[in-house]
Structure 1
């Protein structure tokens, strides 16, 4: 028999093992259930034979063999299913895993076409992309993200209540983008242009996790989706540039200059449609490229750790201050966001049962360095505000750096505890996924409240 504390620890180990199993795209949820039942039965038998719960779990996992070996065995047993997954659908855990690929393709065509049409609707009211740059800059995410969210909500068969929430969020985004009388040189216009897409991207995330809103694992899946979506969008953009070059060159060769068509139609319509197409590609080819972002994270983590440590050494050596003008603030916030992104994608690909190693210590150095830099930037911002007063840029940067400070500080503590073998790895993952709504809330505050709060400056 196991005592309650041992049973709780054992269940935590089962949970970590299950989370790792469910990351393997070649295993269905039913396969994971079968493996877990087999593991639990083996553990129960070992406990009855006299082993402690933790010993029984380790022995049972060892007897089952490496998970990669198990995955390959399942792939060989279900080779037809694996081929279909790799080539057609890939998302075996979603509620629509058995849906016909043609239905997904039809939904993609509808949503991509909807995005392309929506960006041309302002032209019916006399707006031009070259002359009304500020309008399109504020609203660009509203032409693309609702359609991507619609595609994801359709795939996950989102409940009507959640669909209503999504419609409300995008309507709120339209209000934030257009109701405030902002001049083209106002700081609030720039802040809205930066923060509104972030807020709406979290609305896309709500559609992504529609099948399990409270699941930490599904939130981490959305983090992975975000990285792969960004990579695919970049690849599409590169291909689009090649296409534009061919269109321009070939038509110009026969005396036709397609510049107006490219600027007014191909670029805007293709750009917003590509947002939806990239999301579909991640969903359809998930098992092929799911490790791209984590691999890049493992590559750049030591590089960024070295750069941040070198910056801190140089800062201490020179004894100078930090320039907290707008461009510098954006640069530091992007840098800190990249650090968190590297941490998130490394977490998403890590075996939660593996012991801490050298890479975990590199992550600790990276997070600790970013934490120190965040504190230095906060001190500079607070000093400038107390001396010269606040501006929308400084207030937004202050809030963002406070939010980042809280995340980095607790993340550093959890990574330190994990490296010292005092904190389970799952705690770090739960903290990161649970903190995501804080960023969404702040983005909405900046986009909605800052313009009137600072008199539309």
Structure 2
């Protein structure tokens, strides 16, 4: 049952929608009442499935966008409320939106500046970019992600317990990145440089969901945030590349070489600050690009499905084994991760009550193809380990592929049940969000345990 406060908020939302509809000259009063009845029925249906009242209203309005031009325009004009209510918290603090926006921007500037300063601090100890590349490779996430997490925790008004957990986990990440005596040629250096950022990104996720840690929907919101953050970061990087080229060209034209300034200041400081700025942009401008990652997922899902099927056909035709050297292992793991990402972002934008369609069957084909490739890679890794022994790279790849195998296998089973109308869509969403701690746990295991287990090899 909806709580009184939630009921009042829901009625306020209905009143706003009704006022919007009544301003449309082409609609009679009876039309508005009929549309509102339909909207209320849809909200009741969604709350019956377990959604909160505010979530149900926003999903129902978006679903009505396909019924008529009026609802479509209303959903478009008010789409920013979807993320402002489901993602952002603390908006009702008695301050106006302009005040809140200025405070957010000030917090972003402070955190971005903090990241920029952090990346230069090691130079005070004599560790320059040209002196110890391995140090910066292992620690780059520690210069950036704590500041992004701070921004998100501030926005969510995280409690003391969450703040303590964040501090402890980032300290653990710093320990994993720096406590072991790793040689530059050590495989563990690369593994640490990969898995510490992954582990710490899930710590950022804890800051993101700190207003409702146990909520499956908040975890799905973090998945959405991750995709949009990546898109924004890529756009900022592209713009930064253009800026760097202009700086280099213009100063060179007057006889000044800006190479040192670019390499020592612009690129490192701007790069780490961009991580924070990208996160702030996702939070502040969600209404503009909230569907960008899902759109890309829909675009690339059929393309990746074709590529995977072509690979399997070529593998069966040639009978050649799979090369499992380090570069190949990374490539296959990235491929499987991309497939999982395509699945996640397609799920995040899907109407949970819509019946299964052609795209759902295409996703099932993609997941099954990835599952077969994962099995083939696992067989090759197991065979090589049995014959030649294990290495940190092979052990890490084995664990990651086993984890992906479990996820893909159960995802395929749930998707098959959904396509056959025997499994609710919510089960697939809950499985994906509930599996996130498994990835985080494995990243921590590799970062913390592998160097000592393998003798710092």
TM over 0.5: yes
The CA deviation at 1:66 is 4.6
Name the structure 1 match of 2:309. 309
Name the structure 2 match of 1:67. 64
| Residues 222-261 of structure 1 aligned to structure 2 (within 5 Å) | 222-261=222-261
The CA deviation at 1:321 is 0.9
| Residues 217-366 of structure 1 aligned to structure 2 (within 5 Å) | 217-366=217-366
Match of 1:96 among 84, 87, 90: 90
Q: 1:34 to 1:252 in 2, by over 3 A?
A: closer
How far apart, in 1, do the equivalents of 2:394 and 2:263 lie?
A: 35
1:387 aligns with 2:381: no
How far apart, in 2, do the equivalents of 1:413 and 1:358 lie?
A: 17
The CA deviation at 1:43 is 8.8
Q: 1:397 to 1:354 in 2, by over 3 A?
A: same
Q: Which whole-Å deviations, capped at 9, do the CAs of 1:117-158 have from their partners, x for residues lacking one?
A: 011100111111012111001000000000000000000100
Q: 1:65 to 1:106 in 2, by over 3 A?
A: closer
How far apart, in 1, do the equivalents of 2:321 and 2:184 lie?
A: 31
Q: 1:165 to 1:29 in 2, by over 3 A?
A: farther
How far apart, in 2, do the equivalents of 1:445 and 1:65 lie?
A: 42
Asked whether the 8 Å contact 1:367–1:408 carries over to 2, the reply is yes
Q: 1:409 to 1:30 in 2, by over 3 A?
A: farther
Q: Secondary structure at the match of 1:158?
A: coil
Q: Which whole-Å deviations, capped at 9, do the CAs of 1:23-72 have from their partners, x for residues lacking one?
A: xxxx989638999x9779759999xxxxxx9xxxxxxxxx9995226998
Asked whether the 8 Å contact 2:182–2:188 carries over to 1, the reply is yes
Name the structure 1 match of 2:6. none
Q: Which whole-Å deviations, capped at 9, do the CAs of 1:354-386 have from their partners, x for residues lacking one?
A: 111110110010000000110010011000000
How far apart, in 1, do the equivalents of 2:61 and 2:281 lie?
A: 34
Name the structure 2 match of 1:151. 151
Asked whether the 8 Å contact 2:65–2:71 carries over to 1, the reply is no
Q: TM-score, normalising length from structure 1?
A: 0.84
Q: Secondary structure at the match of 1:116?
A: helix
How far apart, in 1, do the equivalents of 2:127 and 2:190 lie?
A: 20
Q: Secondary structure at the match of 2:166?
A: helix
Higher RCO (CA 8 Å, separation ≥ 6 residues): 1
Q: 1:77 to 1:404 in 2, by over 3 A?
A: closer
How far apart, in 1, do the equivalents of 2:14 and 2:442 lie?
A: 37
How far apart, in 2, do the equivalents of 1:44 and 1:281 lie?
A: 30
Q: 1:242 to 1:384 in 2, by over 3 A?
A: same
Q: TM-score, normalising length from structure 2?
A: 0.84
CA RMSD across the alignment? 3.1
Comparing 372-381 with 63-72, greater Cα deviation is found at 63-72
How far apart, in 1, do the equivalents of 2:397 and 2:11 lie?
A: 43
Comparing 248-257 with 383-392, greater Cα deviation is found at 248-257
How far apart, in 2, do the equivalents of 1:290 and 1:41 lie?
A: 25
Q: 1:65 to 1:266 in 2, by over 3 A?
A: closer
The CA deviation at 1:249 is 1.4
Q: 1:77 to 1:329 in 2, by over 3 A?
A: closer
Asked whether the 8 Å contact 1:90–1:284 carries over to 2, the reply is no
Q: 1:28 to 1:180 in 2, by over 3 A?
A: farther
Q: 1:78 to 1:349 in 2, by over 3 A?
A: closer
Q: Secondary structure at the match of 2:305?
A: helix
Name the structure 2 match of 1:444. 444
How far apart, in 2, do the equivalents of 1:322 and 1:294 lie?
A: 31
The CA deviation at 1:82 is 4.8
Asked whether the 8 Å contact 2:129–2:264 carries over to 1, the reply is yes
Q: Which whole-Å deviations, capped at 9, do the CAs of 1:1-22 have from their partners, x for residues lacking one?
A: xxxxxxxxxx9xx9xxxxxxxx
How far apart, in 2, do the equivalents of 1:44 and 1:190 lie?
A: 50
Name the structure 2 match of 1:170. 170
How far apart, in 2, do the equivalents of 1:298 and 1:248 lie?
A: 38
The CA deviation at 1:392 is 0.2
How far apart, in 2, do the equivalents of 1:427 and 1:121 lie?
A: 47
1:209 aligns with 2:209: yes
Name the structure 2 match of 1:20. none
How far apart, in 2, do the equivalents of 1:212 and 1:31 lie?
A: 23
1:31 aligns with 2:24: no
How far apart, in 2, do the equivalents of 1:312 and 1:77 lie?
A: 46
